[in-house]
Amino acid sequence: MALSKEEAVEKARKDLAKRLKISEDSISTKGVEDTEFPDTALGAGGRDEMSGQMLTSGWRIRLEADGKGYEYRANKHQLRLYNFKGSNYQVSTSEIEQ
Amino acid sequence: MNRNNFVTHLALAMVIILIAAFAGQLRKWQKEWRSSIRIVPVESKNPQLSWDLDTALTRPELLVRFRPGVSADIKAEIAARFNDRIEDKIGSVPGLVAIDDLDDLDAEISAATYRALPEVDYAEPNYEVSLDHAGGGFKHRHPDDPRFAQQWGLANDGSNGGKEGADINAMRAWATSTGSETVIVAVLDSGVDYTHEDLRNNIWVRPAELGPYEDNELGIIDDVNGYNAIDNSGDPMDDNGHGTHCAGIIGAEGGNNIGVAGVNWKVQIMPLKFMNAGGFGTTKDAIEAINYVIKRKRDGVNVRVISASWGSTMRSRALEDVIRSAQEAGILFVAASGNASVNTDRRPHFPAGYKLDNVISVAALTSNDELASFSNYGPKTVHVAAPGVGILSTWLGQDYEEKSGTSMATPFVAGVAALVISNNPEISVSDLRSLLFQSVDPLPSLAGRIVTGGRINAARAVGAE
């Protein structure tokens, strides 16, 4: 199943709540924008990960918790947490991918 | 009419009929003999070449390139067998001769007859080619692919906001070579849709005499069309689109009146899959795929170029080592410089950033010959530039899409490398790399930003200008 924008936001909120060990209700969605990322890993590739160097359309999802901002990046194939404590993370890939 | 006159006329008529019948049989025998040896293994491997409207057929001649080792005597004997004559030898291209067909048979059919011979690398009709529209006396060839006008990277006429001549000068290059099915380019990517109508005739097929791929660790893999390093199978089907796009830039079949033309109208694309549907993969799988290519090269498969439109900022000694092994096996490695808009002299991107003598790092250009805003650069680490914005090529679902990135620039360079090899099969990796660097068009926008300061020029690389 391809991931929709709404599903991506929902999964991002769930993921952040789990990582921060807080309630989903305490996370606010500050914005979701259509954008173009620099590569097929949405500019958020992990260690030991190679990505196609092709501009790739997707969604930038901005969340906030306890006054701090977090950025998720997604498209129909994937959801990634960008620059979380200095690292990028791929989220729930096995559930998202076909 | 008396009896004697009747007998005389009857005898004369019978003689005339016998002569006519014998002449007809002779022609039939000749046709049958020719058709009996016209064995075309894959009919569609021989694209019908088309030309500008004003390029009338002037001489019923052929251009035939014999394989290395075929002696002059054998060439003459083959020509004589078809009642043809070798008229000229093209000194700059070993084995290439111009042949005069004394029977004035259809040039396309005669070319196909030659192509079926094991001694022949390629054969094509020798049509007159038109002068370049911009003057200067250079010859060029124009494919009949209906979307060719949208392929500004190959021929930029200045429309749609582009700049005339801001291209790789493909049409002039094609007057010298449109590629060869003897040259194999490995597309190391998300796989390739090998069923795409504009690619399927240019996809590598494991030769019948070569057994399935065997690896001590991976086992036996039935690699009919390439290799899938993700699931260790012989099915490198693309489920992302990225690899199919790159493959089309290198070698979408040209002159087939379908879709687009690749830098090479004919070539063999070896699909390799190490990136998944999302377009990302692991270093380990990339290494496995490169290892596959090296092993197949050692098995006698003529893989000369790996096109690598991917990367990351993480350095891997293991990946570097396997690319070095590819160099030792005689394989050029063309890689994307990356899309982070940074100077890679300071912030390296790999594998393009490995300082190996078989690696070429490629930046992306707009249709105005400007460095693309996203493209990495590096006066010491990025070597050449090629078109990389709004590039039309093959896509999943028998489709075509415009895409941007150094991913798209990379296969232009890999494609030109293959075109050079088609014209000079014995060229070494180091000579090929040097030739590609020396034949660029210097651009003000690239001065001091990349090593050569120029855009790749296919025509100059193949010696067409």
Three-point CA angle B133, B137, B138, nearest 5°:
80
Rounded Cα distance, B193 and B394, in Å: 9
Give the model confidence (pLDDT) of B332-363 as tens digits.
999 999 999 999 999 999 999 999 999 999 99
Q: In Å, what is the CA distance from B446 to each residue of A75, A94, B419, B442, B456? A: 33, 43, 24, 7, 12
Q: What is the pLDDT of residues B205-240, one digit of tens each?
A: 999 999 999 988 889 999 999 999 999 999 999 999
Residue in B275, B406, B410 closest to A50 by CB: B275
**Of B399, B318, B365, B366, residue with least CA distance to A50:** B318
Contact B262, B248 (CB under 8 A): yes
| Inter-chain residue contact A41 with B407, CB threshold 8 Å | no
Average pLDDT of chain B to the nearest whole number: 87
CA–CA distances in Å: residue B121 to residues A15, B40, B325: 59, 13, 29
Q: Does B310 contact A50 at a Cβ distance shorter than 8 Å?
A: yes
A6-20, B10-24, B429-443: segment of lowest average pLDDT: B10-24
Tokens found for residue B265 = 């109208």
pLDDT at B50 (0 to 100): 33
* CA-closest candidate to residue B124, choices B200, B176, B173: B176
> Which chain A positions have a beta carbon within 8 Å of B405's beta carbon?
38-39, 52-55
Unique residue bearing structure tokens 């912030």 = B347
pTM beyond cutoff 0.90: no
Report the distance separating Cα B320 and Cα A86, nearest Å: 26
For chain A, the average pLDDT equals 93
Q: Model confidence over B172-183: pLDDT tens digits?
A: 999 999 999 999
DSSP state of B275: S
Searching chain B, which residue's CA lies closest to the CA of residue A41? Answer: B280
Let me know if B242 is a catalytic residue. yes
Contacts of A55 in chain B (CB under 8 A): 339, 374, 403-405
Q: Would you state the pLDDT for residue B101?
A: 81
* 3-state SS assignment for residue A78: strand
Catalytic one of B190, B367, B375, B407: B407
> Can you give the pLDDT at residue A1?
65
**First CA to last CA distance, chain A:** 5
Higher-confidence position of B35 and B462: B462
What is the arrangement of strands in the sheet containing B96-101, beginning at the earlier edge strand? Answer: B84-89, B96-101, B61-66, B120-125
- Three-point CA angle B408, A5, A48, nearest 5°: 50
> How many CB pairs below 8 Å do chains A and B form together?
98
For residue B375, the surrounding DSSP H or E stretch is: none
Mean pLDDT, rounded, for A17-36: 97
